[in-house]
């Protein structure tokens, strides 16, 4: 059984991929994002 903390942590984690062209891609929203958007989370 998972603790409540573990479940909450999964909800806020996101996968951000960094491509060679220095762009950041958010796999949840399927769009490119900026570093300032990441800082706002």
Rounded to whole angstroms, the Cα distance separating 31 from 29 reads: 5
Query: Does 5 reside within a domain?
Result: no
Q: Is 25 left (phi over 0), alpha (psi -120 to 50) or beta?
A: beta
Task: Give the range of the structural domain holding residue 24, as residue numbers without chain letter.
Answer: 15-41
For tokens 């950041």, what's the residue?
24
pLDDT digits (tens, 9 = 90+) for 1-41: 555 555 454 456 888 898 888 899 999 889 999 989 888 87
Give me the half-sphere count of Cα atoms (radius 13 Å) on the Cβ side of residue 39.
3
Spatial contact of 27 and 19, defined as CB atoms under 8 Å apart: no
Query: Does 25 reside within a domain?
Result: yes
Query: Does 20 reside within a domain?
Result: yes
Residue 8: per-residue pLDDT: 52
Total domain count, the chain? 1
């Amino acid at each position: 059984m998972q603790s409540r903390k573990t479940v909450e942590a999964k909800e806020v984690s996101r996968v951000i991929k960094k491509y060679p062209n220095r762009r950041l891609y958010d796999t949840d929203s399927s769009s490119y994002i900026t570093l300032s958007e990441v800082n706002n989370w």
